[in-house]
Amino acid sequence: MTKTIPSQSSSLDDWLCYLESVHPANIEMGLERVNNVANNIGLLNTSSKIILIAGTNGKGTTARCLESLLLAQGFSVGTYASPHLIRYNERVRVNGEELADQFHVDAFNLLEQGRKDTPLTYFEYGTLGALAIFKRCNVDYVLLEVGLGGRFDATNIVTPFASVITTIDLDHKEYLGDTRELVAYDKAGIFRENTPAIIGDLNIPHTMTDYGKKINANMVLSGSDFIFKENTESFNWQYKEHNFELAKPAIPCQNAATALTVLCVLDLLPSEQIVKNCLADLVVEGRFQQLSSEPLVFTDVAHNPESARYLANKLLSFKDKGFKIHALAAMLADKDKAGVLKEVSHLVDEWSLASLNGPRGDTASNLESALQNISDHNIMHGYNSVAEALSVILPKQKNDTVLIVFGSFFTVAGAINYFKK
């Protein structure tokens, strides 16, 4: 059956439905197809300086930090991130703002005409669409968040002004490998010869630095070239002659330190006062985001062991103040359920587990099995959805309890939508 191709006057929803239907796979590694289409329509010929950001966790928060600090200096900035929480437009920001649907429609229409017979995945369409929008807006800087790995990700067709690795941990093992060394080597594929490569991970595998040395990338390493120290209410960042004492931001200090180092390496670091102002105002949706104060509810996209460890530290601060923790978890089937739940289980007093609908969603019963294998948890409840769970939990939640809803971008989206209604 021939699929009807949307036009420039079609809705964004029509285009997104079409993009989901035209390629048989969600993920297809390799750059040749996406490179050909980009060259067909001249997307790679741009005056914007591109900062390419890869990492298992922390890409979005690092990009948001860089965006804030560049905008504060009067630069125009395009930011591409994925996945979105509520609506597609979140994936592309220009000067910190989402764009009207028509910008995306125009970009997809351009791609459809330029790709000829070349098949593209949904993510590849999105990446090329973002590049088309940034070229149209002629921004000074582009912050491009890598989708999966690095070496064969669609974003890696660009020539970066700088490459950034935030953290390295195990996720997407079927594509990237099941050791940190294999994951690190794949992510190092975004490095370029004689180009800054800033690595924020606290325990950098040798495969990443070996590759960087081999191609003569200008590597700047966390722990040796730049350092940060966390205190209860503040953190200290040092790089070369710079030594900033800063209040703890709402994002991980590790990501803030990495972002500051990137700007310093590129000779774009603003004054310490501007840094303090930007970090104080920084909020990233879905990263320990507070949804309610009475009752006390937070949500977090933590979906792999590393991000769950960061979440556990946040929960520990409430536990230390005498709060009980009620966790509502819902996850995708291809994630390391046991690894994620184990990182927070010692802090949780009561568990609620919800099924995620959709082709990749896991069931509450599978989560319950994973949890039972970790340790004894007497108080467990199962629900068909995040919304159903919240409708039962919230009316009964006491003032001495924090509810944390976590496990996936889809879980966070479900929680946010529930509170909006």
Q: Taking all residues of the chain, what is their mean pLDDT, rounded to a whole number?
A: 92
Whole-number pLDDT of residue 173: 54
Query: What is the per-residue burial (b if ≥16 Cβ within 10 Å, else e) of 185-216?
Result: bbbbbbbbeebbbbbbbeebbebbbebbeeee
Please, what is the angle between helix 101-114 and helix 122-137, to 10°?
110
Report which of 362, 360, 314 is spatially closest to residue 338, judged by C-alpha positions: 362
Determine contact, residues 349/325, Cβ cutoff 8 Å: yes
Q: What is the average per-residue pLDDT within 339-343?
A: 93
Q: Are 158 and 45 in contact (CB under 8 A)?
A: no
pLDDT, tens only, 23-65: 766 666 679 999 999 999 999 999 999 999 999 989 999 999 9
pLDDT at 233 over 80: yes
Q: How confident is the model at residue 80 (pLDDT cuts 50, 70, 90)?
A: very high
DSSP designation for 224 = T
Token pair of 252 as six digits: 């991980």
CA 399 to chain CA mean position, Å: 32
Half-sphere exposure of residue 313: CA atoms within 13 angstroms, side-chain side: 11
Q: How confident is the model at residue 358 (pLDDT cuts 50, 70, 90)?
A: confident
Q: How distant is the alpha carbon of residue 282 from its chain centre? A: 15
Mean pLDDT of 366-376: 85
Contacts of 206 (CB under 8 A, 6+ apart): 181
Among 138, 129, 155, which residue's Cα sits nearest to residue 77? Answer: 138
pLDDT in tens, 392-420: 999 999 999 999 999 999 999 999 999 98
> DSSP states of 102-120 as a string?
HHHHHHHHHHHHHSTT---
Residue intervals of the chain classified under CATH 3.40.1190.10 are 12-281
Percent of the chain with pLDDT over 70: 95
Is the per-residue pLDDT at 91 higher than 70? yes
Q: What angle do CA 54, 198, 36 make, to 5 degrees?
A: 45
- Torsion angle in degrees (nearest 10) through CA of 40, 46, 48, 53: 30
**Under 8 Å between Cβ of 299 and 411:** yes
CATH of 289-420, one of 3.90.190.20, 3.50.50.60, 3.40.50.2000, 3.40.640.10: 3.90.190.20
| Percentage of the chain lying above the pLDDT 90 cut | 80
Confidence category of residue 148, pLDDT binned at 50, 70, 90: confident
For 283-408, where are the alpha helices, taking DSSP H only? 305-320, 337-345, 364-374, 386-393
> Residues of CATH 3.90.190.20 domain(s) within the chain?
289-420
Using pLDDT thresholds of 50, 70 and 90, give the confidence band for residue 1: very low
Per-residue confidence (pLDDT) for residue 169, from 0 to 100: 83
Token pair, residue 338, equals 């046991």
Contact 71, 97 (CB under 8 A): no
User: Structure tokens of 203?
Assistant: 């325990």
CB distance 197 to 160 below 8 Å:
no
- For the ranges 137-146, 164-173, 204-213, 276-285, the lowest mean pLDDT is seen at 164-173
User: For residues 190 and 151, is the Cβ–Cβ distance under 8 A?
Assistant: yes
Dist CA 364 CA 379 (whole Å): 14
- The torsion of the CA quartet 67, 13, 109, 29, rounded to 10 degrees, works out to 70
Strand order in the sheet with 234-239: 226-230, 234-239, 242-247
Q: What is the pLDDT of residues 166-177, one digit of tens each?
A: 999 865 555 555
How many helices and strands, by DSSP H and E, does the chain display? 15, 17
Mean pLDDT of 131-145: 98
Task: Tell me what pLDDT residue 29 has.
Answer: 66
Residue range 248-254: mean pLDDT, rounded:
91
Across the strands, what pairs with 353? 329, 382
pLDDT at 380: 83
The C-alpha angle with vertex 287 and arms to 226 and 269, in degrees rounded to 5, equals 35
The model's pLDDT over 377-393, given as tens digits with 9 standing for 90+, comes to 667 889 999 999 999 99
Q: What is the pLDDT of residue 21?
A: 86
Rounded to an integer, what is the distance from CA 416 to the centroid of its chain?
A: 17
Cross-strand bridge partners of residue 361: 332
Specify the amino acid at residue 146.
V
pLDDT at 335: 87
Domain range 12-281, CATH architecture: 3-Layer(aba) Sandwich (3.40)
Which of 167-181, 207-221, 294-308 ranks highest by mean pLDDT? 207-221
Write down the pLDDT at residue 329.
Answer: 96
